Every structure is written in C-alpha cells, then in structure tokens.
Chains A and B, each alone.
Chain A
Amino acid sequence: MTQRADFMDDEEQPAAPSTSDGGSDHGVSRRRFLQYAVQGSTLVLGGAFIEAKEAEASISIPELGEILDFADVVRLAELPYASNLVLEVTADDRIRFELPRLEKGQGIATAFAMLIADELDADYDRTDVVLSDRRADRPFSITGNSAAVRVLWGPVRDLAAQARARLVTAAALRWQVSPSSLRTSQSRVIAGDGRTASYGSLSADAARVLVPLVSTKPRPVSQYRFVGSAQARKNARAIVTGAQEYTLDIDVPGALPTVVARSPDIGGTIVSWNGSIAQTMPGVVGVVRIPSGIAVTAQTFKQAMDARDALQITWSPGPVRGLSDNQVRETLRQINLPLTPVLPLFGSRTATFEFPYLTHAMMEVMGAIADVRDDSAEIWYASQSPNFIATQVAQAIGISASKVRIHVPYAGGSFGRRLFGEAAIEAAQISKALRRPVKLMWTRNDDVRHGRFRPMARCELRATWLGGAMTSFEHRIAAAQTDFGHGLGEALTAIGASVLPSLFGQLGFLTMLSLPYRFGTTSHKLVERNFGVPTGSWRSVYSSMMTTANEIFIDEIARARRSDEVDFRLRHLDSAAAERCLRHVAAAGSWGRRMPAGQAQGVAVHAEYRSAVAYLVEIDTTGEEPRLLRAFCAVDVGVPINTRGLEAQMQGSLIDAWSIMFRAGCHLENGRIREGSFGDFLWARMRHTPPTTHVHVFPAESGAEPGGAGELGITAAAAACVNAYARATGKQPRRFPIQEFA
C-alpha cells in the first residue's frame, strides 16, 4: 500500500508550506537526495506505508520532513474541521476567540489575540483569547510539534476576515451606504461621513448576513501592525498578582484534595492493602483503590499525604525491577545498527553520544479535577490532547466519550508531558468511586518518578571525507521507544496514512530529521526498544538528542579538518535560513574574538518546523562550575507574530539546553527512578545562567509562511553550549549531563 501519492499531492497544493532551505533550488537538491537514496538507504519501515515509486524515485530520508511533518499531519487532519472555530463579537463589544490549544507558557494565546486584532481591526485590549473546552467537532486539536501557529494561522485569518466582512456589510446595510466606503479600526466601523458603530452594536446584524458585500480574503501580512511587533503577554498582570489560575487553583465546589499511593517500582501493582488506619486520620474523607494505586481524599493535601503514608500496602515488583541505566545502555549498544566501515584513503571521524532518561519537570505538577456522575463526567485538565483524553476517561469509567466534558485551564509548563492524561483518568476513576468531585494532585515525587521520560538514547555518528570534500555522514540511534500514543495515530489515519502504532517513532524520526548540510551521502537510522519505562515526547522529541549530537559532531569534524567551526558550517549549509541565522550570531557575538584561557565561544544551528535558528554562546569554565557569560541567538520563523514572545522562547530554550546538557538527568536504578524533586533533578538556577541573552528575530519576508518556534531553540542551544565547553576545555563530552561525567 502506498501513501506516497498523498505526500506528492500535498506538495503540489498551493497551501503547501515552503521548505526550510529557503533559497536553494529545490529541483537540484532533490536530485542530490535521490542519489543518496539510491546509494543504499532504504525506506521500507517493516511494511509500513512509505513506498518509493520507481518512476519518480524515492523520497530521500532528509527530505520527508520538508514535505510533511507532524504539524502538517495535524493541519491536514483538521482541515475538514477548520471552520469549527469560535470567534465571537460579544454584546459588550469584546472580541472573544476560543483557542483549541493549550497555553502552557509558549505565548500562543497572546499571539492569536494579536493576529485577530490585526485581521479583524479589533481593539487589541478588548480582544480576549480563552482556551476552548474539548470539542468533539475538532477531533485533532493536539498542542505539540510547535504547530499551533502553523496549523491555525490560515483558519484564524479566514475566520477573522469573514467576521470583519460581515460587520462591514451589516453597517453598510444599516446606513444604506456603499460598503467600500467604510473602514474599520479599533472594533468600530467608520463611515466616510464620520458615523461610527461599535462591533458589539453590529454583532447581531452581522450574524444574519448571508453573503458579505466585501471581500472575505485575509489581508496581506504586510498590512498587519500587531503581527511582527513586540507585545507583553496578555495575562501578565494576572500572573504577577496571583490571579492567574491553574488547574488545582480552580474552585470546583466539593472537589477535595486527593493524592494516590503509588508503587515504589515503576509499574508495580497492589498485592494487598489495608486502609483502616488511614481512614481514621484527621481530615480524611475517602480511601479507594484505583488501578494505579490507592487514592486518599481529605480536607487538605497534607492530610491526604499523611493518610496515604499510613496506608499499609504490599506491592508486587514492577515489570522493570532489576533494570538499571547500565543495562539499558548496554542493550542500546547491542541493538544499534552498524555504521558503514570507512574505506581506505578516506578521512573519518566517529563518535558516540549517550543521553539519559529525562523527566519533564514542569513547574506545575500533573493534576486534574473530576466530577463524575452516572453517565457523564466533567474534567478540568490542562491537556495537550483533549479528545484523546476524553476517550481514555470514557473508557476508564465506562461512559460514552460524548459525555465527557473537558475544560482546559492554562498550564504551568508542559514540555510534552500533558499529551498524556494519567491525572485526568485517575481523577475520574476516584470521583466515580467516591461519588463526589475530587481534586487530584501528583506530588512532586509522583511527578518525577511515576511520569514519563524522554527516552534514554545512544547516538553513533560517523563522517568521512576525501580530499577537500565531505563524502558521508551517518547517524545510528538506538533509543528506548518513544510513546506517541496520544491521538497522533488518529490524526494519521484521518489523512489516509495508515501507520502501525509501533512505527510512529520511525515516522516521527524521519520527519524530524534535520541535517541541512551538503555532506555527501547522509543516512540516519533509528532502532527502538521498549524497556518498560514509560516514555513520551519531551520538548523537541528526537531533536535534542540526534540533532544536538549532529551539531556537536560537526564542530568536531570542523576541528579535525582544521577548519573554523563557523566557516565550515557556512561552506556546507544548504539552508539559506540557517545560514542567515548563523551569520547574524557570528557577527553579533564577534565570533573568533580572543577569549581568555578557559573561556570560549560555541555555535550551532538548527532547521526544523519550517524555521531556523542559530546560537553563539560564551562559556567560562574557570569557576567552580562552568557557566555561560553571554549568549546570542538569531531566529527565523518565517512570519513572527510576537517578537517578544519569541525572544522569551529562545532565551528559555537556552536554559533548557544548559540544564539537560550540563546538569540534569534521571537515573534508573533497579526498576525505579532515583530523582524525586528539583533537589536532585538539577534544573538550572539563576546562578547557572548567563546574565544576558540577546535574541534577534528576523522579520517576515514577502510571501513567507509562519514556521514553528516552541521546540526550535533547544537543539541548537544545547549543541552551542557543549561546543563552547569543548573549545574551552579541549574535552569532547560523550555522555550527558556533562557535570555528572566530567
């Protein structure tokens, strides 16, 4: 069965996103990729759907992500439902948009308010974006893959343009004037003779307009004023006054604090339990068994935790009892696919990089509120995939999914964790058992030890060259299998791609590949193994391992070939956007300036999500701990909406990067994760961060389309930091976090 035709059709549609390699001749680069594919990389994924048509030659592995990636999958899956958005002009003259995504700090609520204000000519201060409840008529509303703006840009512009056209039409009819004589500004329609009407006053009439009398086409991006500007996030005041609510702040009457006693092993189950002491402890209201453990509900969380500790539970060993990091590492070493032997006369370099299990460690722990009745459920959960969660909740408590309402509060960070909804499912199970609403919280220990992890991974790389030319670049990754079972499968099925769930990882891997360089024959291969430790997508999924490893390795190749690391990249990059970003940071950071002993600069680039980014960082390794002195970033997201929000994303990504490459990792010991809080999961603190980080956001060019930004920065930032460290110390880090193995 082939789905290749679908991808080719998408390429020919006018809406197809532009490729990330900006200016290069697509036809020429395709032929080069074709040669690489013919030279030996295969595309058969154990019988799954991607099949090369001989006549057209294959999709080469680096190219798939340029044609279709997970963001495209979600966009295509949502196309039939694109108009199922709610944009309301309220009676009190406010604009209200229900965003079917999760705001988790990435700034999309503000970004869409800006876009709507521009397209609709609404008063920005009276434009409100709220998070939509789960909607069954938007079945693929997944927040992830840095796709929110890419997927909703078109539909939101269309919707706002339609609204404006109807408001203008309503005014024209009311005033009996030509609609083309009217203009709009600040939520008002304005006539040539000075008459004005507020959007609110026109709203009812506008709703009755069948055929707008003015164009419903969105205006050109060049006419936008908010889009491309710097705006504070809309909820800034709410945050600094403590008014911003997160899931467990919400007051649902009667929903009492609840925690769950969990197996000390990953995946252990209950053999026997006795709650007689716990039940009598102060404040305790209920003690019930659910599949994942024993739930205790009390007047306060502390009392629930104390009673939980007084439960007498006998646990079975978990399925991964006996498994520790070193065994996983050894297995990954054994199962990894081999690199091609180096031919005589070729220069080469080979390196292996190892990455640990990594918890998401978002600031707001997993939590949910559930109110389950006989045949319905009302859930409050900051979900990245609410339709998937609704199905899971429905199955868990035996009701119809159509009867599951999910409210989506803002999240205190997520980084991929809330694609899954264990807390929502548990809360529903407990509520059903207790016959009352419950407010369930995963304690920090629960969240670190019993959550999901970025998979442990082993990356083996080899590059070869002959004379002055790079001839090959191979990357073999062995990793614990990433769990993608959060609704993406349904989206894939909806667009006609049939992929075995066990192969989602391969598909994700292929579409996330990024090696924007002319390095001869390139090949990336992934092999996965399920070790029984729960995994999930962790901000950038594979990229912060495989592409970060690429960028560290490229630095080493440059040095092995006696080349300046920036110059080497510039000579081989085939992404105009990445090149532009690199040139910018090299200039801004005065690349090559003399640094004192023990200090050095480091660079890296990344191109993914139809965007590109580069970092130049400066490190000081002379102190007790290495620390960045300053950093520069240049980012090209096609069409930036909120430049201040993008700066924040790039600054924050650098902290992610520093934390995971130098300080923080999780350790699997005999079937348990050792870490339990920020006390031993060593996220970067203020004293570990550069005092300044300058970010340059490239403005939109004519004809550009928006790319993704949420995950973009971390990959290059991580490599830049390690490259700076390597240049400062002469060491070549191979295992991360560095400070554990230094």
Chain B
Amino acid sequence: MPQYSLTVNGTEHLVDLPADLPLLYVLRDVLGITGPKYGCGVGICGACTSHLGDTAVRPCIVPLSDVGDRPITTIEGLATDDSLHPVQQAWIDEDVAQCGFCQPGQIMTAVQLLSRIPHPTDADIDAAMSDNVCRCGTYVRIRAAIRRAAAMINGA
C-alpha cells in the first residue's frame, strides 16, 4: 500500500493505507484522533469538519491521496498550548453546546468564516454555517458566539 506522510496538529505521521481511504477514518481509526466525528460519512452534516491547510474540509469525503503536504488541523489542534482559540472561548462564554457532538465541526467552520469575514452579518453566518447540522438546536447561541468571537478577534 502507498505510504503517506501526514502532519496532523503539528505532528508528523507516516501511514501505510489505501489511496482512496477518506481522511476521517485515518484520523479516528488509525491515529486515534477522535475530535472530528462521524455524523453521516457522506459530507452532508459537517460533524467531521477540520482544516486542510487554511480550508475547512469534510475529511469523511477527502481521500488520503488528496491531502498532499497540506497540514491537517483538527479541533484538538485549534488551541495553542493552554490558550484557547477565541472561537473556543466564545463557545464557552455563550454556553453554546448541549450534547456537544456537532460542536467541533461547528467551531472549525466558524473559525474559517471569521478568518474570511471579520465582521459577518446574519446573512454571512447563515451562508457559512448552514451546512453544519445541530440536532440539539444550538444555532441561536452559535450565532451569538460567532459575534462574540468576532469582537474578540477583530474588535467590536
């Protein structure tokens, strides 16, 4: 089987796996990185959302062969040492989560949104976040946390 070198959250891993194996199963089943969740396996729900380079992707539909040398960041790699990313802190301050299962994916999508649009409008938030399902219905607090994080990162 082909060998792949993956950098995940700053750590390099060498894996010997099929080219078409989606990244989610490499992360979870092989490397034991379980922050990205299996929600549907077909790229629809967003629970697995992670970053490939600077881009939010759904690793459940990203084959290993597409990763290249772009660094992978999962929810576990968002904080630096003990410092939470402002989005993570905002998520805590607004007490966004209920069951929490979708939230790593929500957070990774929100981080990308704020890196592209520092002061998103409601419509921007709708557009960016509507592909991440939350079954507990935390959307109103996700929206509040995004606004809060925007203020923290970029000023009010």
Q: Is A225 an interface residue (CB 8 A)?
A: no
Interface 1/0s, chain A 700-738, versus B by CB < 8 A?
Answer: 000000000000000000000000000000000000000
Known: A240-B84, A443-B41. A363 touches B95 (CB 8 A): no
Taking the closest CB of chain B, its distance from the CB of A300, in whole angstroms, is: 4
Which residues on A sit within 8 Å (CB–CB) of B131?
685
Among A461-469, A666-674, A689-697, the one that faces the other chain is A689-697
- A652 and B133 contact, Cβ closer than 8 Å, known pairs A301-B38, A677-B42: no
Q: Is the CB of B140 within 8 A of A693?
A: yes
Given contacts A412-B37, A413-B101, A678-B40, contact A690 B95 (CB under 8 A): no
Q: Restricting to B101-137, which residues have a CB under 8 Å from any CB of A?
A: 101-104, 107, 122, 125-127, 129-137
Is A83 engaged at the interface, CB distance under 8 Å to the other chain? no
Interface stretch of the complex, out of A58-66, A507-515, A653-661: A653-661
Main secondary structure of the interface of B (DSSP, over half): loop
- Given the contacts A412-B101, A677-B45, A687 and B21 also touching, CB distance less than 8 Å: no
Contact for A651 among B38, B76, B127, B140, CB less than 8 A:
B140
What CA separation (Å) do A654 and B39 show in the bound complex? Answer: 22
Residues of B contacting A244 in the complex (Cβ-Cβ under 8 angstroms)? 100
Contact of B39 among A104, A363, A649, A686 (CB under 8 A): A363
* CA–CA, A444 and B92, complex, Å: 29
Which of B41, B133, B143 is A363 in contact with, Cβ under 8 Å?
B133
Using Cβ atoms and an 8 Å threshold, which residues of chain B touch A245? 34
Q: B59 to nearest A CB, angstroms?
A: 11
Q: Is the CB of A444 within 8 A of B41?
A: yes
Inter-chain contact A300/B25, CB cutoff 8 Å? yes
Q: Are A687 and B130 in contact (CB under 8 A)?
A: yes
**A377 contacts which chain B residues (CB < 8 A)?**
none
Cβ-defined contact, B75 with A684, below 8 A:
no
A:328-387 near B, CB below 8 Å: 361-365
- A243–B101 CA distance with the chains assembled, in angstroms: 11
Whether the pair B91, A236 counts as a contact (CB closer than 8 A) is: yes
CB pair A233 B97 closer than 8 Å: yes
Q: Specify which chain A residues have a CB less than 8 angstroms from the CB of B101 in the assembled complex.
A: 246, 363-364, 412-413
Q: Is A321 an interface residue (CB 8 A)?
A: no
In the complex, B98 has a CB within 8 A of chain A: yes
User: Quick check: A411 and B99 within 8 Å, CB to CB?
Assistant: yes
C-alpha gap A246/B76 in the complex (Å): 15
Chain A residue with minimal CB distance to B63?
A: A302
Interface string of B68-81 (1 = CB under 8 A from A): 00000011101100
Q: Is A13 at the interface (CB under 8 A from chain B)?
A: no
Q: At the interface, yes or no: B18 with Cβ under 8 Å from chain A? A: yes
Q: Which B residue sits closest to A630, measured CB to CB?
A: B140
Of residues 24 to 38 in B, which have CB atoms within 8 Å of A's CB atoms?
A: 25-26, 28-30, 32, 34-38
Interface bracket on B:
35 or more
Task: From known contacts A242-B76, A686-B132, infer whether A444 and B42 are also in contact, taking CB-CB under 8 Å.
Answer: yes
> Does chain B have a CB within 8 A of A683?
yes
Q: Does B57 contact A (CB under 8 A)?
A: no
- Residues in B neighbouring A305, C-beta threshold 8 A: 41
User: Are the C-beta atoms of B100 and A239 separated by less than 8 Å?
Assistant: yes
Interface residues of B in 1-24 (CB under 8 A from A): 1, 17-18, 21-22
Asked whether A312 is an interface residue with its Cβ less than 8 Å from the other chain, the reply is: no
Q: CA–CA, A573 to B2, complex, Å?
A: 71
A648/B44 contact (C-beta < 8 A), A232-B92, A242-B74 known = no
Query: Is the C-beta of A146 less than 8 angstroms from some C-beta in chain B?
Result: no
B35 touches A233 (CB 8 A): no
Which residue of chain A has its CB nearest to the CB of B143? Answer: A691
Residues of chain B with a CB closer than 8 A to A690's CB: 140
Known contacts A301-B29, A690-B140: A361-B135 contact under CB 8 Å: yes
Q: For the complex, what is the distance from the CA of A649 to the CA of B42, rounded to whole Å?
A: 29
Cβ of A248 within 8 Å of any chain B Cβ, yes or no, is: yes
How far apart are B85's CB and chain A's nearest CB, in angstroms? 9
From known contacts A240-B91, A685-B133, A686-B129, infer whether A235 and B100 are also in contact, taking CB-CB under 8 Å: yes
Indicate if the CB atoms of A692 and B88 lie closer than 8 Å: no
- Do A651 and B137 contact each other (CB < 8 Å), given the known contacts A363-B102, A410-B99, A685-B130? yes
Known: A363-B47, A364-B37, A689-B137. 15 other contacts (CB 8 A): A104-B99, A105-B98, A105-B136, A236-B91, A239-B100, A240-B91, A240-B103, A303-B21, A363-B136, A364-B39, A365-B38, A441-B38, A651-B140, A654-B137, A685-B129
> A-B pairs with the 5 shortest C-beta distances?
A655-B137, A242-B35, A412-B101, A105-B99, A652-B137
What are 18 pairs between A and B in contact, CB < 8 Å? A105-B99, A236-B97, A242-B34, A249-B34, A300-B30, A363-B45, A412-B100, A413-B98, A413-B101, A443-B41, A444-B41, A649-B98, A677-B40, A678-B39, A678-B45, A679-B40, A686-B129, A693-B140
